[in-house]
Each structure stands twice: as structure tokens, then as C-alpha cells.
Structure 1
Amino acid sequence: MKRLLLLVSLFMMSQTAFSDIIETPVTLPDDLGTGVMYLNDKQKKPGPGVIVIHEWWGLNDYARDRARMLARAGYTALAVDMYGTGKVATHPKDAESFMKSAMAEPEKMNARFEAARKMMLKQQQVEAGRLFAIGYCFGGGVVLNQARMGTDLAGVASFHGTLGTDTPAQPGDIKARILAATGQADPMIPAEQVTGFVKEMTEAGADFQLLSFPGVKHSFTNPKADAVAERFDMPVGYDAHADQVSWKALVDFIEHKSHAE
């Protein structure tokens, strides 16, 4: 009986912890797509907000989990379907097709991001000047390009995202602080791309941090990366240390910006 009561108690505690996070599907205006908003019910005053952009797979459980983690940390998070179709890939060929289709319409992608940004600014839980954007893989490239465009954000963070660009930022272009985390064993983000990124950010006068993890592959924050590597023979892999260190760096990045304002 005591064991049963203990299990019931633990279950209720788990349910209470989960119920603190309010998950709400949202629709962007002008048929731009959808997203999911995550609010922390314990949040008593306005604080940081974070837009989350998914990997090339689409707005799947992983991207939602990251947004949920941000809400648990006390932030308001909006996970956006940057493809605008609701489709989620499970095969790399489909993911590549979705990504290429989206990138072929940069104006629509920018409009989608801007709609999400404006939606977040209207949330009473998000304090003015404390809106961030983070992205993984494809999403990392998306948020970095928003920074290059001078989008009004407190900061952007890229995790195993593309660091190169055809239109480098010029001095004075970048308003947001930048955090980029990459793996040194990631063939999709080769050393010359990392070097070019550092040169670009330095010449643009950006306030940026670069985390480069030795021996770490692409998708190092995604626990399912090892299964993907085995199934599709891809050079990706989860790394618990890099995941934990980069997540801690993200929280510090957000808190530092918040405290500096």
C-alpha cells in the first residue's frame, strides 16, 4: 500500500510539473503557416521570449521538445513551422526536398519569421527588447540570416547550423548578439566555413560567441541522431557533453542579454 501511495504521489508530482507548461497551437497570418506556443504557467512577470526554428526534418517532436525545455526554464517559446506546410520528414530525401522548396522562396520565409516575431512581441509574457531566436541545422542558418538582415532581436543562437552565406553582413548590419555552436568533425560545416564566419562577424563588428567542439559531428544536440546515422549512413551523431555545454551556454547567453538591458 505504501509503495502504491508513493507511486501515485510521484505520478501526481510529474503531472503537476508537466501542467505548468501551457502548449497552444497558433496560426500565422496570411496563410504563412502554423506554430506551437509554449508558456510557463508559473511565470509571474514578463521575461525573455524565444523563437525556435527546426532542423531540416520540419517541426517535429525534437523541435517541440526544445521549445518546451525553454518554457521550463522560464521563457516563452514559439516553435515555428518554417516550411509552412505542416509536413515532417522521416527520410533525408524528403527533408532535403522540403528545405530546398522553402529556401527557393526566401521572401516567404522572411515573412513567416517576421509574422512569428510580431506574434511574440504581442505576448504579455515577453518583455520588450528580450526576444531571441534559435535554430538547429537548417534553422541555425535561418536565424543567422535574420541577424545578418538586421532583424530586431536581442540575440540569435545557431546549433550545428550552416555558417556560410552568399551575402555577408556589413559593418553596422547586425543588431543581435550571436551564439554559434558547431562540431569540428561536422563535414557539413567544414573548417573553412567556420573560419569564414569568424572573419565575417569580426569585420561586421558583431558581438558574437563561437563554440567549437572537437570530434563532434552534425546534429550533436539531437538524441536521435545516432539512429539516423545508422539507418541512412549519415555523418551525424549525438554528443551528450556538447549538448549540455551548448544548452548551458544558451541559457547564459539569454540571461546575460537580459541582465545587460
Structure 2
Amino acid sequence: MGTSITFKRADGKDTEGYLAKAGRDHAPGIIVIQEWWGLQDQIKGMCDRLARAGYEALAPDLYGGVTVPYHDSQKANREMSSLDFLDAVDNIVRGAAAYLSQSGAKVGLTGFCLGGAVTVIGAVRVPEIAAACCFYGVPPREAAKPEDIKIPFQGHFATKDDWCTPEVVGALESDLKKSKARWELFRYDADHAFMNEQRTVHDRAAAELAWGRMLSFWRSHLGG
């Protein structure tokens, strides 16, 4: 359904991404941020699915064309560790928001794993974002403080997650209680990356429940 495009970063440089169009004018936009595996077909599929739900969905390619096989966690960690998160947010995410908002529509931000952390940072640092939905990713506080979020925020986390552990999610919840945002957090009896249907950790029941909650969130805060 979608296609690869080139768009401008906030600093004016070109960057790449995958765009799935809603097929109607002035559709709200959603930026979709990849896992640490890169811009995999699974993320493109998320964009296609959002387009079918009525949203223009753009997944920036944060790794510049590099994708990592699911079994190679060491390479994925190297790629993620080499990513300048603040540059990615301030220039790539903000450039994607500018691209999607050309029609005047509202723009949301979502992401998974690495992309979940980017979503929290973007919710703080990108003024063009109207609402943010995070899946199992929390950045270090030096990158963004969740209590500084002011836009509507929704989070989805797994109770069996060994990265975004229940303790990490509890700290996020405590920080959000200090914020001025309208927010909600959901926890699922599942593993990290339960939304990824290409991996053995996929949990269909949890994924479909989270998907429905996310769409309801977008309808409330972006329209569509």
C-alpha cells in the first residue's frame, strides 16, 4: 500500500521513510518509529494498517537503510547505540511532522521499543506533535523527563518485559502524575515486543486490545 519517499529533516537535509496514504484529503498524520531492528516490513505493515484506518502514516528510516535480522540482537544494539536520539527527534521526527502537517491536519507520534523511547522524547521536544502513543520504550531522563509532557499521552507496556520492566514503567507512571498531560497507561500479561507479529513474542490478544485502544486514542485527539 505504501511507498518509499524522501522528505526534509528540520535542518533541511534529505532523509528517507515509508509513507502509507489514507486515500482521502486532510487525513490526520501519524509518525511511526521503528524498533531497534530498523525499518522492517513489520513497521511498514503498521503504517499500512493505520492508512486503512484513515491516517497518513510515515515511518522515518532512522538507520539510513540498515535493517537487522531478528536473531542478531548484538547488531541491533550496536545500531541503536550509534543513533543520536536527540538529533533523530529534533530533525527527523520534526521533519516528518512538518511533512504530514502540510494539509493542516493534526499529527500524532507512536513507536515501538527504541521507537517508544523516541516517542517519549518527541512528546516533550516536538511542538508540532498533538498526541503521542508509546509502546514499551522509555528513554533515560537526560533525554526527556516524562513530567514535562503536556500533550495527550498513551502508553502500552508488558508485565514480562525485561527491558521496560514493571519498575521502569512504575517510575514512568509516577513522573506522568507530575505532568500537565492527559495520560493513560495500559499493562499486558505479555512479553516485550508483543505487537510484532513477525516474532515469537507476539501476543495476538494483547496486540489487538492495544491496537483498539490506540485507535480510540487517535480518534479522540487527532480526529479521523
Residue identity matched to 1:36: Y
Aligned pairs for 1:101-140 within 5 A: 101-103=82-84, 106-122=86-102, 124=103, 127-128=104-105, 130-140=106-116
Does 1:221 pair with 2:185? Answer: no
Calculate the aligned-residue CA RMSD, in Å.
1.9
**How far apart in 1 are the matches of 2:177 and 2:126?**
16
Partner of 2:202: 238
Inter-CA distance 150–26: structure 2 relative to 1 (3 Å threshold): closer
Q: What secondary structure sits across from 1:35 in the alignment? A: strand
Offset of residue 116 of structure 1: 1.0
Offset of residue 165 of structure 1: 2.7
Residue identity matched to 1:38: A
Partner of 1:168: 145
Inter-CA distance 53–246: structure 2 relative to 1 (3 Å threshold): same
Q: What secondary structure sits across from 2:154 in the alignment? A: strand
Alignment deviations for residues 198-256 of structure 1 (CA, whole Å, 9 cap, x no partner): 11111012211101012x11010011221xxxxxxxxxx11111100000001000011
The alignment's TM-score, normalised by the length of structure 1, stands at: 0.78
**How far apart in 1 are the matches of 2:165 and 2:213?**
22
Partner of 2:76: 95
Higher helix share: 1
Aligned pairs for 1:65-84 within 5 A: 65-83=45-63
Equivalent residue for 2:175, pick from 200, 223, 226? 200
Offset of residue 60 of structure 1: 1.0
Is there any run of 5+ residues in structure 1 with no aligned partner, and where?
A: 1-20, 227-236
Residue identity matched to 1:99: M
Offset of residue 162 of structure 1: 2.5
Inter-CA distance 163–108: structure 2 relative to 1 (3 Å threshold): closer
**How far apart in 2 are the matches of 1:258 and 1:71?**
14
Partner of 2:16: 34
Offset of residue 175 of structure 1: 3.2
Offset of residue 174 of structure 1: 2.4
**How far apart in 2 are the matches of 1:223 and 1:107?**
30
Instruction: Name the larger-Rg structure.
Output: 1
List structure 1 runs of 4+ shifted beyond 4 angstroms: none
The alignment's TM-score, normalised by the length of structure 2, stands at: 0.90
Partner of 2:44: 64
Identity of aligned residues (%): 25
**1:163–1:194 contact (8 Å) kept in structure 2:** no
- In the comparison of the two structures, how many residue pairs are matched? 218
Is there any run of 5+ residues in structure 2 with no aligned partner, and where?
A: none
Equivalent residue for 1:190, pick from 165, 168, 174? 165
Q: What secondary structure sits across from 1:47 in the alignment? A: coil
**1:179–1:208 contact (8 Å) kept in structure 2:** yes
Equivalent residue for 2:117, pick from 122, 126, 141? 141
**1:155–1:176 contact (8 Å) kept in structure 2:** yes
**How far apart in 1 are the matches of 2:153 and 2:214?**
10
